C-alpha cells in the first residue's frame, strides 16, 4: 500500500516527474464499496517542494498521458485481465 485516506487505499501508484505538478495513475480501493478503481490524478508542487492532491481533472499532453499509462502498466496498476483487454482493444484499431 502506498497511501491511505478516509476515502480510499492507494495500493499501487506511478507518476511522471514534471516541474510544477506530479501526474499519477493509481490503483485504489474505495473503502465504502470495497471496489478497486483506476484513478488519474495530480498533485501540485509548491515552491518548497510540498505536494497537494488536486480534486480537479488531470489534463496532459497526449505523449505524457501515454507515458503515464505505460509506466502504470509496468508497475502493476492494471490487472493482468485488464492488460489483456486493453491489448485486445488496441489490436483491433
Average pLDDT over residues 45-71: 93
pLDDT tens per residue, range 59-77: 999 999 999 999 999 999 9
Q: What mean pLDDT is predicted for residues 31-53? A: 94
The pLDDT value given to residue 39: 96
Residue closest to 62 by CA, chosen among 54, 70, 52 = 70
For residue 1, is pLDDT > 90?
Answer: no
Query: Which cell is 77 given?
Result: 496498476
Cα–Cα distance between 39 and 57 in angstroms, integer?
10
Other CB atoms within a 10 A radius of the CB of residue 57 amount to 8
Q: What is the pLDDT of residue 17?
A: 85
Range 16-54 burial, b when 16+ CB lie within 10 A, else e = beeeebbbbbbbbeeeeeeeeeeebbbeebeeeeeeeee
Greater confidence, 18 or 84?
A: 84
**Domain boundaries in the chain?**
3-91
| Whole-number pLDDT of residue 10 | 96
Amino acid at each position: 500500500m502506498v497511501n491511505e485516506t478516509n476515502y480510499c487505499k492507494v495500493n499501487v501508484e506511478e507518476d511522471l516527474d514534471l516541474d510544477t505538478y506530479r501526474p499519477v495513475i493509481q490503483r485504489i480501493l474505495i473503502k465504502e464499496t470495497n471496489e478497486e478503481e483506476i484513478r488519474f490524478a495530480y498533485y501540485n508542487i509548491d515552491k518548497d517542494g510540498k505536494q497537494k492532491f488536486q480534486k480537479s481533472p488531470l489534463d496532459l499532453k497526449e505523449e505524457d498521458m501515454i507515458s503515464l499509462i505505460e509506466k502504470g502498466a509496468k508497475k502493476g496498476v492494471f490487472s493482468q485481465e485488464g492488460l489483456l483487454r486493453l491489448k485486445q482493444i488496441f489490436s483491433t484499431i
